[in-house]
Amino acid sequence: MSRKQQTLKSSVRFEGIGLHTGEKSTIEVHPASEDTGLVFLTRYQGKERAIPYTVDYITDTRNNITVSDGVVSYKTVEHMMGALYGLGIDNAILEFTGPEMPIMDGSAAPFVEAFLKAGVVAQHSEKKVLRLMESLWVTKDDKFLVGVPFYALKINYTISFPNSPIGTQTFQLNMTEEDAFSSIAQARTFGFLEDIDYYQKNGLVLGGGFDNVHVYSRKENRSINGARYDDEPVRHKVLDLLGALALLPYDIEGFLVSYKGGHTLDVDFARLLSHYAEKQKEEAKIFTEGYSYQVSGLLHLEPRVAHLAS
Ligand SMILES: [Zn+2]
């Protein structure tokens, strides 16, 4: 099912501190013409630098998704990018200052509210659709993210934190359902009280607090600052995955199943989808034989067929 590309009706500005750096940042999201995609923009030493939000510009996926052109970087972009993907906002210029996206309340909700208030408008060109015609997957240890053919985007996500109040949670999102995205937009990033010292000693979560992280205690076996949903953590992981899918200039049609995934698998899956979409454009007819493919020496991938439909 294809649709028209969309952008914002007017610019939206956010400011706040970054989750990991604790440093201040501003970001203005501006309307952009069709086929622009999502492009970060900043000034460095008096010059403008543009960083397209595509798989080629992702330099870190360990605790967040970082975009960089090799000179300037911007961390923890995934929640805003998930909001843009979830709302179908395809074209925007994201003009930033500072090292890291404002974490706001730890969810996508503040972004979503502001974007909807500004308005989302349809443009003339169609949004391209990447339809999975066979299964594609990425794996790492006991974790995997597999995409199988389906007529729309559906995500089934499972997380497992044994011996903790989170436990095992599964959430399924069918993007064709009305208000599907609103079921995950409010889900906050999460962590354990007992891990904070370790993270902060390693220079992480320096801006984290009860107003922007859903904090659990393993020792007390409970949520400290109250859950918005019983399964808020897994809903948040689905939001993170949408933030990685926004790296592609396509609407994805497929049933994605993630088990114990995270930013690295999410972005590696986006890389895989991107690679096969490009190959298909080049060759028109590809992937008639299944074969193995290695990315970054890290993953063993056995993709079969991806099909670019419009
Ligand atoms: Zn997140």
Residue 307 pLDDT class (50, 70, 90 cuts): very low
Last residue of a domain, one of 126, 143, 169: 126
Residue 290 pLDDT class (50, 70, 90 cuts): very low
CATH number for the domain that contains residue 170: 3.30.1700.10
263 is catalytic: yes
Same domain? 270 vs 179: yes
Last residue of a domain, one of 172, 198, 227: 227
Same domain? 221 vs 242: no
Same domain? 98 vs 182: no
Same domain? 103 vs 13: yes
Mean pLDDT, the chain, whole residue set: 90
- 76 CA to middle of ligand 1, Å? 8
Q: Find the domain containing 251 and state its range.
A: 129-188+229-309
- 197 CA to middle of ligand 1, Å? 20
Last residue of a domain, one of 126, 142, 160: 126
What would the mean pLDDT of 206-231 be, rounded to a whole number?
A: 96
Minimum mean pLDDT range among 132-136, 189-193, 243-247: 132-136
Same domain? 180 vs 98: no
Residue 288 pLDDT class (50, 70, 90 cuts): very low
Number of domains in the chain: 3
Same domain? 59 vs 133: no
- 291 CA to middle of ligand 1, Å? 33
From the candidates 79, 263, 300, 307, which is the catalytic residue? Answer: 263
Residue 301 pLDDT class (50, 70, 90 cuts): very low
Instruction: For residue 231, count other CB atoms closer than 10 A to its CB.
Output: 16
Same domain? 152 vs 138: yes
Minimum mean pLDDT range among 157-161, 172-176, 208-212, 298-302: 298-302
Same domain? 82 vs 180: no
- 66 CA to middle of ligand 1, Å? 12
Write down the pLDDT at residue 275. Answer: 87
Same domain? 212 vs 294: no
What would the mean pLDDT of 262-272 be, rounded to a whole number?
A: 96
Residue 279 pLDDT class (50, 70, 90 cuts): confident
Q: What are the distances in angstroms from CA 150 to CA 16, 88, 171, 176, 212?
A: 39, 19, 17, 12, 35
- Of 91 and 286, the structure prediction assigns the larger pLDDT to 91
CATH number for the domain that contains residue 77: 3.30.230.20
305: pLDDT strictly greater than 50: no
Same domain? 221 vs 301: no
- 288 CA to middle of ligand 1, Å? 37
What would the mean pLDDT of 208-236 be, rounded to a whole number?
A: 97
- 198 CA to middle of ligand 1, Å? 19
Same domain? 121 vs 242: no
Minimum mean pLDDT range among 6-10, 160-164, 196-200, 284-288: 284-288
Same domain? 249 vs 287: yes
162: pLDDT strictly greater than 90: yes
Dihedral, CA of residue 170, residue 174, residue 179 and residue 182, to nearest 10? 40
